[in-house]
Copies of this chain bind each other. A is one copy, B any other.
Amino acid sequence: MATAKRSRLTVDERREQLVRLGVDIFSERPYDEVSIDGIAAAAGISKGLLYHYFPSKRDFYVAVVRHGAAQLEAATVIDDAASPEDGFVAGLDRYLDYVEEHDSGFAAVLGAGIGNDPAVRAIVDDVRRAMTDRILDNLTRRVEPPVPDTPQVRVAVRGWVGFAEAASLDWLEHREVSREQLRDLLASTLVAAVTAAVGDVVPS
């Protein structure tokens, strides 16, 4: 029966089915621990048939990431027919739809969930957490008046650490703004993000 069902799928449908399965597989364990045998077993097909669709584990993995990336890109197209503001808000909504519906896939696409060595990921996560904690400590215990220590403020600071990383990497690559401009941008954006997060707690 399962075989009969499988035979009705076209090559493209089967490939897509395998790729969707791959998102789950690679989200659940590190790349090095995923085996071709395991993928074939999870898909209920022979190793030979799997190789027919994807010549190697790496090819399969790249197809999985490409699939997630295409979905994320499609989700964030800004509708030209809407006003710029409405188009942006609608795009943000679709971005968050994607994040919610494909949470493991989202992490996978960003390289946070798969492809990285788990030991390496743990080190990087520790650095980000330490930076977040330090800034939170400064804001909630040392600044006058202190910023309330809420989940909203925490998300804002964690987001800002991502902002600082992305802006710094872009700056290293292009060097089109001065270091002082980058620093001012980082500082202003932290203040603004935290202010927005605090404002959200006590709506005016």
> Taking beta carbons and an 8 Å cutoff, which residues of A are in contact with B?
58, 61-62, 65-66, 69, 72-73, 76-78, 80, 84-85, 87-89, 91-93, 95-96, 99-100, 103, 106-107, 109-112, 115-117, 119-121, 123-124, 126-128, 130-131, 134-135, 137-139, 142-144, 151-152, 154-156, 158-172, 174, 176-177, 179, 181-190, 192-193, 195-197, 200
List of B residues within 8 angstroms of A139 by Cβ = 84
Chain A interface mostly helix, strand, loop or mixed?
helix
A-B contact pairs, 18 of them (CB 8 A): A88-B138, A91-B134, A92-B183, A152-B177, A154-B176, A155-B170, A155-B171, A155-B182, A155-B185, A158-B170, A159-B189, A161-B166, A162-B163, A162-B167, A163-B193, A184-B196, A184-B200, A192-B193
Are A96's CB and B182's CB within 8 A?
yes
One complex includes copies of this chain to the number of 2
Is there contact, CB below 8 Å, between B124 and A109? yes
In the complex, besides A78-B137, A185-B197, 9 extra interface pairs with C-beta distance below 8 angstroms are: A65-B123, A84-B143, A87-B142, A110-B169, A111-B116, A115-B116, A154-B176, A159-B170, A162-B165
Verify B62–A117 contact, CB threshold 8 A. yes
* Closest beta carbon of chain B to A152's beta carbon, Å: 5
Docked Cα-Cα span, A88 to B135, in Å, equals 8
